[in-house]
């Protein structure tokens, strides 16, 4: 049989364990959101480079241009 002190201690342990679980869950969600934000930032930076290079919204043409350029320089031995 538990004494009242042990019961109170168990209640506090349960309370803090639940708080820890909540903090861990939110920390995980914050990390996921930060990773998503970073990937979005990288994506929009890439799209900005495509636009600044004169390709507008055509990222496939941009990639094809760089592939041709790299192939050319590899053939030249540079």
Residues 19-77 have pLDDT tens digits of 887 888 888 899 999 999 999 999 999 999 999 999 999 999 999 999 999 999 999 98
What values do phi and psi take at 56, rounded to 5?
A: 60, -125
The rounded distance, in Å, linking the Cα atoms of 55 and 49 is 9
**What angle do helix axes 59-76 and 4-50 make, rounded to 10 degrees?**
70
Length of the chain: 78
Alpha helix positions (H), 1-78: 4-50, 59-76
Report yes or no on whether pTM surpasses 0.85. no
């Amino acid at each position: 049989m538990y004494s009242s002190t042990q019961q109170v201690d168990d209640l506090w342990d349960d309370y803090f364990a639940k708080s820890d679980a909540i903090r861990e869950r939110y920390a995980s969600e914050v990390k996921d959101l930060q990773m998503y934000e970073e990937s979005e930032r990288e994506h929009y930076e890439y799209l900005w480079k495509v636009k600044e290079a004169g390709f507008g919204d055509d990222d496939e043409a941009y990639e094809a241009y760089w592939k041709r350029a790299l192939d050319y320089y590899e053939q030249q031995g540079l």
